[in-house]
Structure 1
Amino acid sequence: MIDQLTIDRIIDTAHIEDVVSQFVNLKKKGVNLVGLCPFHSDKTPSFYVSPAKNICKCFACGEGGSAVHFIMKHEQLSYFDALRWLAKKYNIEIQERELTDEQKEAQNERESLFILNDFARNYFVTTLHEHIEGKSVGLSYFRERGFREDIVKKFQLGYSLEQRDAFTQEALRNGYKKEYLVKTGLTIEGENYQVDRFRGRVMFPVHTLSGKVVAFGGRILKKAENTGKYVNSPESEIYHKSDQLYGLYFAKQAITRADRCFLVEGYTDVISMHQAGIENVVSSSGTALTHGQIRLIHRFTTNITVIYDGDAAGIKAALRGIDLLLEQGLNIKVVLLPDGEDPDSFARKQNAESFNTYIKEHEVDFIRFKTQLLLNEAGNDPIKRAALISDIVNSISIIPDSIIRSVYTRDCSLLLGVDERVLVQETNKRRLSVLEKESQKSPVQVQNTVQAQAVSPANPDFLPKNNVTALDKYELAILYYVVRYGTARLFYQEPEKEENSKVQNSENAAEAQEQEEQDETTVVEYVKFDLERDGLWLNNPLYKQILDEAIEHHYDEGFNPGRYFLAHPQQEISLLTARLLEDKYEISKVHIKQFGENIKFEDTPLSESKHLATAVPRVLTELKNALITERIKTIKKDMTQMQKEGDFDAAIALMQQIKQLEDIKKALAKALGERIILKW
């Protein structure tokens, strides 16, 4: 368990913009930062980061929270493991006792798989550098490929012994469960045997964006029949091949700096390019590109350069995946390497400057590249040319930007010798078909990413969908003010008016004292007083706990409800707090023009902090009104039952109670103000 002081230190140190920018390319927008959401397929930036409040929020899918919540969601970690992740990032020491065997067994399966992969990575690395077979076979291979020692260590390359089950036995001796060895794919189990999947291979660990090992690739060094050159980890709970790109962990910062990503095919292509000084490179690991992989790249840049060797068959197979890049609105360039070269061999002959020079001189726009490639293949055959035109039109039609589609259509008309109007007509037909398919997707897939309805006391759209009572939204509205403004004075006064008030009140000492006590009343104090005088309290257990703790710590020195509950060890409270702290409004252009672009909402006349004296009593009154409404419904049901049973005296007594409650409702309605409801 991590003590509260350490949790507070981690929360204070972990700046949300610093944490999120490791995984998302952020751009300044007013006082906030914005980027593509990492939690859903986001084509237009809808993920906002607020450095001032130290929270983030996606206005399309609703994900967000503090830095801890972001890491929990992104890395699929528990609350305390996310804290440990942040503590490691910021070099904050956490004093924790070593886990016992029982505690290790209590770790959930996902964490166990990560721990096992970490052990495997270290085992393979140690074997490569210290075991006689590892040094003579594995390390010799890497040296023959020209990899420097620092590059071998950087990518955590390793070696798996040829012995049938060397790794499996070592893992079992260290207390790792056989079921996890099988689930990660490190061990293959048969009826009467168990063997290492990667025996006799050099090892390439595959990392997540945060550097956790999720899988391995292994290359065999000896010729063997019916054995593939490369073997990869199978799909598991922690590894989904379609959502990983080899080398992205090492490339993400370079991609952001260069605003470009080089896409190659294999492990060694990435490693050789890094050694040559080109670090903004990732690999699809020999598979066709997937939507998940494209989303990963899109979060860091919109510019991708695909590097091909001269293998025509390989290029045509890869073209299908690149259409997916166009669909996501990415800017695609293609580079063909000289005959006989692949990115690995070519990079070993270059340095960063000469490599980038070659790229600039030889890169071609993807649509033009594809058109020319298929033209050469089709020749003068009219059937093949017709198929070519259809293929190109398909690629153009999936591009979301209409201007870019128009430019490509014009260029392809010249290259293909086809009337531009014909291409426009066909492209529009295909585009309509694309849009119709998108419209048939589920609402979650096609939800509007412009601006979701704001979270507010009147619209708590983040309430859990199950087990919600009729009173929850009213209780949550009270918590909204407790968490955001709990220690603020309920009765706000402008500084100059406050000074004048003191001068005027000094004429009558008793009135002045009473006024001063009223002026000093905080939101938490008023909520407590108002609920207790009517014998009420919050019913939702979670909301009640938050209110109780706010009252308990209210007079603690330096107590800040938002900060306190955001760092709360109870995940439900911490996440709810993050959502309550999300901004309801954006600064209008009028206020930006009047006060400057760095104006904060709390400095404008609309700031909630200046209207607490009316807002807080109102939400309390709304809760009371809702309580009475529910009470009247219950009594009416009881009264109906009494009438059915013939107990008219009891029914009349209940009717009198309803009359009293209706009178109270009228008084509350008057306090709330009359509302006019229009039914269309």
Structure 2
Amino acid sequence: MISKTSIDQVYETARLEEVIGDFVQLKKAGSNFKGLSPFSDERTPSFMVSPVKQIWKDFSTGKGGNVVAFLMEHEHFTYPEAIKYLAKKYNIEIEETEQTNEQKEAQNKRESLYLVSEYANTYFQNILHNTDKGKAIGLSYFKERGFTEQTIKKFDLGYALDDWSAFTDQAIKQGYQLEFLEETGLTIVKENKQFDRFKGRVMFPIQSMSGRVLGFGGRILTNDKKAAKYLNSPESEIYHKSKVLYGIYHAKQSIAKEDNCYLVEGYTDVIQFYQTGIKNVVSSSGTALTSDQIRLINRLTKNITVLFDGDAAGMRASLRGIDLILEQGMNVKVCTFPEGEDPDSFAKSNSLTELTEYLEANAKDFIQFKASVLYESSKNDPIKKAETIRDIVTSISKIPDRIKTEVYIQECARIMDISEEVLFSTLAQLNKKESDQAVAKSQPTQKAFNVIKHEQPVRKVDVQYELERKIIEILLLYGDRKEEFEDSILKEKENGELGLEKVVQEARVFEKIYLDLQEDEMEFLNPQFKAIYFKIIETLNQDPQFKIQNLINTIDPVLAQEITSILMEDERYTLADWKRNNIFPKEKTDTVSQLVSETILTLRCFLIDQKVAYFQQQTLQNKTEVNKEILEEVKDYSGLKMLLSRKLNRAL
């Protein structure tokens, strides 16, 4: 268990915008930050971070919360893990009691897989640095590749002994269950026998964006033709190859800072580049590039430079990934190396200055690269040339931005010596074909002349829910403010009729709301709003220096999620950047007292309507006798509503 003192210190120190900035590229938007949702595929920012309130909201999925909630949602941390991650980031020492064996066994399955992977990572590093075989075989191999001791430790490189079950035996001895060793792929179980998957290999741990070990890549060091040169962990509950990029943990900050990401093929390419001084580099780990991997980069930058070997196979591989990158609305460049060189060897034999200058001079825009690669093989063949041009236009058609599309069409026309009109016509055909296919997929097959009427369900507004939600919002935003409230007191006039007399009084917002609701004996129907309401009133009574983030950090997670949604509702509209369009909406803070009064009065009117409707129902059910008392009640309530409506400036 982590002590409360440590948890409080973590919350006080951690800055939400800094933590989320490690995972998402954030841009200033007034007093807030905005960025692309890390939980959905989108091209327009709908993810908001409020440094003042220390909360975030993703409008595309509805998720939101504080800094710990983000780590639990994004990295699938448990609560203690999220606290430990923040403590490590901000160099905070945390107090906790040692876990018993029973507590370890109680960990859920997913957590067990992480624990096993972390143990394996430590074990392989220990073998590499502290055993004779590890030093003689694994460490010497890495040093031959040109990796320094510092780099080897930075990337947690390790070595698995060339023994059938050395790792598995030691892991079981340490209390790790065979079930989880098998599920992570570290151990292979066959016919009651178990052996190490990565025996005799140097090890490359594959980490998530937050640094958690998800799986491993292992390279064999012998010339065994039957064994694969590189072997990856199999898919598991925590490791999905298509959603992971090797090196992203070490590269994320540099990618955001440089606003560019270098994409290579292998583990050693990443490490050699990093050691040379170029840190904004990741690898697809030998797998074909996927949309999920591109979206991972897209959170940090809109620019990708794809680096591939100088051979024909490397060039063809680069072409396959370009269209996927373009579909995500990203800017892509491609750089190839001289024949016989790859990113690893080239970085090893060149200084940082030489490498940087080469990349800047040879990184071509995708259309220039694609044209140069395809044009050489088709320039003397008209049919092949036509196919090449269509291939390039197909790539251009993937770009969602119309301005970029037109610029690339013009560039293609210049390079391939063909008219723009023909290219635009071809582009229109491709877009129409794609659109028709999309429509065909989305619509079920119907018989001719079969007319189907689609009834749109009418969404009924729950008035009381909306008003209760508005009261909670006012309390959260302005509960501790002092305001002057203009009230109307019911007084009997000289002629005996009821009238409203204006009175101005100063009060704190939460006191005004509490007293008004108490006076009319109004209660919240929504259980969540009711719980939040009493928690806020209690907190404001006890703590004059009330801070919203403190409430979110201590309240039930379900209620915290609801509070986040309420608080960040207004931030949705800042995404539209009204001021840039010379639209200046009135700030709520200018009219807090009016907002409070109108909300309470509207709730009163609504409850009066409900009461009158109830009396009407009672009268209809009892047709034989009309209750005079009920009629008097209805008359009184109707008169009260008339007065309240007059105060609200509403016509009945």
Unaligned runs of 5+ in 1: 443-464, 494-513
Residues 1:578 and 2:564 aligned together? yes
**Which residue of the partner structure matches residue 446 of structure 1?**
none
Residues 1:489 and 2:482 aligned together? yes
Residues 1:551 and 2:531 aligned together? no
Q: Are the aligned partners of 1:621 and 1:668 in contact in 2 as well (CA < 8 Å)?
A: no
Give the SS at the match of 2:322: helix
Report matched runs for 1:52-201 at 5 Å: 52-201=52-201
1:185–1:21 CA distance, 2 compared to 1 (3 A): same
CA distance in 1, matches of 2:335, 2:148: 26
**Which residue of the partner structure matches residue 460 of structure 1?**
none
Q: Are the aligned partners of 1:550 and 1:561 in contact in 2 as well (CA < 8 Å)?
A: no
CA distance in 2, matches of 1:110, 1:408: 46
* TM superposition shift of 1:246: 0.6
CA distance in 2, matches of 1:242, 1:658: 71
Residues 1:525 and 2:511 aligned together? yes
RMSD value, Cα: 3.3
Q: 400-409 vs 150-159, which deviates more?
A: 400-409
Give the SS at the match of 1:567: helix
**Which residue of the partner structure matches residue 346 of structure 1?**
346
Q: Are the aligned partners of 1:632 and 1:658 in contact in 2 as well (CA < 8 Å)?
A: no
* TM superposition shift of 1:59: 4.3
CA distance in 1, matches of 2:619, 2:485: 46
CA distance in 2, matches of 1:437, 1:182: 43
Q: Are the aligned partners of 2:3 and 2:96 in contact in 1 as well (CA < 8 Å)?
A: no
Give the SS at the match of 1:238: coil
Q: Are the aligned partners of 2:66 and 2:549 in contact in 1 as well (CA < 8 Å)?
A: no
Q: Are the aligned partners of 2:63 and 2:561 in contact in 1 as well (CA < 8 Å)?
A: no
Once the two structures are superposed, residues 480-513 of structure 1 have per-residue CA deviations (whole angstroms, 9 ceiling, x without a partner) of 11222222224279xxxxxxxxxxxxxxxxxxxx
Q: Are the aligned partners of 1:247 and 1:281 in contact in 2 as well (CA < 8 Å)?
A: yes
Q: Are the aligned partners of 2:54 and 2:549 in contact in 1 as well (CA < 8 Å)?
A: no
**Given residue 644 of structure 2, which amino acid in structure 1 is its aligned partner?**
A
CA distance in 1, matches of 2:260, 2:614: 64
**Which residue of the partner structure matches residue 466 of structure 2?**
473
CA distance in 2, matches of 1:3, 1:527: 37
Q: Are the aligned partners of 2:53 and 2:548 in contact in 1 as well (CA < 8 Å)?
A: no
**Given residue 671 of structure 1, which amino acid in structure 2 is its aligned partner?**
L
* TM superposition shift of 1:439: 7.6
Residue 563 of structure 1: which of 522, 531, 549 is its match?
549
Once the two structures are superposed, residues 424-481 of structure 1 have per-residue CA deviations (whole angstroms, 9 ceiling, x without a partner) of 1101222344556678999xxxxxxxxxxxxxxxxxxxxxx9xx98743332222111
**Which residue of the partner structure matches residue 455 of structure 1?**
none
* TM superposition shift of 1:330: 1.9
CA distance in 1, matches of 2:207, 2:15: 24
Give the SS at the match of 2:95: coil
CA distance in 1, matches of 2:579, 2:343: 53
Residue 640 of structure 2: which of 667, 670, 674 is its match?
667
Give the SS at the match of 2:524: coil
**Which residue of the partner structure matches residue 419 of structure 2?**
419
Report matched runs for 1:86-485 at 5 Å: 86-434=86-434, 471-485=464-478
**Given residue 544 of structure 1, which amino acid in structure 2 is its aligned partner?**
K
Compute the TM-score of the two structures, normalised by the length of structure 1: 0.82
Q: Are the aligned partners of 2:62 and 2:565 in contact in 1 as well (CA < 8 Å)?
A: no
Give the SS at the match of 1:167: helix
CA distance in 2, matches of 1:633, 1:243: 57
**Which residue of the partner structure matches residue 591 of structure 2?**
611
Once the two structures are superposed, residues 587-636 of structure 1 have per-residue CA deviations (whole angstroms, 9 ceiling, x without a partner) of 89998999xx9xxx9xx9x4434433332233334444444555666777
* TM superposition shift of 1:67: 2.1
CA distance in 2, matches of 1:315, 1:275: 25
1:668–1:638 CA distance, 2 compared to 1 (3 A): closer
1:426–1:592 CA distance, 2 compared to 1 (3 A): closer
CA distance in 1, matches of 2:578, 2:327: 37
Residue 600 of structure 2: which of 617, 620, 636 is its match?
620
Q: Are the aligned partners of 1:486 and 1:561 in contact in 2 as well (CA < 8 Å)?
A: no
Q: Are the aligned partners of 1:262 and 1:306 in contact in 2 as well (CA < 8 Å)?
A: yes
Q: Are the aligned partners of 2:19 and 2:67 in contact in 1 as well (CA < 8 Å)?
A: yes
Give the SS at the match of 2:484: coil
**Given residue 125 of structure 1, which amino acid in structure 2 is its aligned partner?**
Q
Once the two structures are superposed, residues 643-675 of structure 1 have per-residue CA deviations (whole angstroms, 9 ceiling, x without a partner) of 5xxx756x856x965883585366346525465
CA distance in 2, matches of 1:441, 1:532: 57
Give the SS at the match of 2:332: strand
Once the two structures are superposed, residues 245-302 of structure 1 have per-residue CA deviations (whole angstroms, 9 ceiling, x without a partner) of 1111111122222222111100001111112111111111112211111111122222
Identity %, equivalent residues: 43
Give the SS at the match of 2:195: strand
Q: Are the aligned partners of 1:22 and 1:253 in contact in 2 as well (CA < 8 Å)?
A: yes
Once the two structures are superposed, residues 286-343 of structure 1 have per-residue CA deviations (whole angstroms, 9 ceiling, x without a partner) of 1221111111112222222211212212321331111111122222222121111111
Q: Are the aligned partners of 2:480 and 2:540 in contact in 1 as well (CA < 8 Å)?
A: yes
Give the SS at the match of 1:554: helix
Q: Are the aligned partners of 1:79 and 1:571 in contact in 2 as well (CA < 8 Å)?
A: no
CA distance in 2, matches of 1:387, 1:592: 45
Q: Are the aligned partners of 1:565 and 1:573 in contact in 2 as well (CA < 8 Å)?
A: no
Give the SS at the match of 1:24: coil
Give the SS at the match of 1:611: helix
1:161–1:590 CA distance, 2 compared to 1 (3 A): closer
Q: Are the aligned partners of 2:467 and 2:603 in contact in 1 as well (CA < 8 Å)?
A: yes
**Given residue 640 of structure 2, which amino acid in structure 1 is its aligned partner?**
A
Give the SS at the match of 1:48: strand
Once the two structures are superposed, residues 185-221 of structure 1 have per-residue CA deviations (whole angstroms, 9 ceiling, x without a partner) of 2122223222222111111011111111111111111
Once the two structures are superposed, residues 510-537 of structure 1 have per-residue CA deviations (whole angstroms, 9 ceiling, x without a partner) of xxxx989x41x22222232222233332
1:665–1:97 CA distance, 2 compared to 1 (3 A): farther
Once the two structures are superposed, residues 15-64 of structure 1 have per-residue CA deviations (whole angstroms, 9 ceiling, x without a partner) of 22211211122233333333222222232333333323323334444443
Once the two structures are superposed, residues 75-130 of structure 1 have per-residue CA deviations (whole angstroms, 9 ceiling, x without a partner) of 12234432332222222333221222222233222222222211111111111111
CA distance in 2, matches of 1:195, 1:266: 27
Q: Are the aligned partners of 2:539 and 2:546 in contact in 1 as well (CA < 8 Å)?
A: no
Q: Are the aligned partners of 2:207 and 2:213 in contact in 1 as well (CA < 8 Å)?
A: yes
CA distance in 1, matches of 2:614, 2:2: 46
Compute the TM-score of the two structures, normalised by the length of structure 2: 0.86
CA distance in 1, matches of 2:429, 2:86: 50
**Given residue 235 of structure 2, which amino acid in structure 1 is its aligned partner?**
E
1:101–1:470 CA distance, 2 compared to 1 (3 A): farther
* TM superposition shift of 1:423: 1.0
Q: Are the aligned partners of 1:87 and 1:93 in contact in 2 as well (CA < 8 Å)?
A: yes
Give the SS at the match of 1:217: strand
CA distance in 2, matches of 1:561, 1:416: 63
CA distance in 2, matches of 1:522, 1:5: 32
Unaligned runs of 5+ in 2: 443-458, 487-501
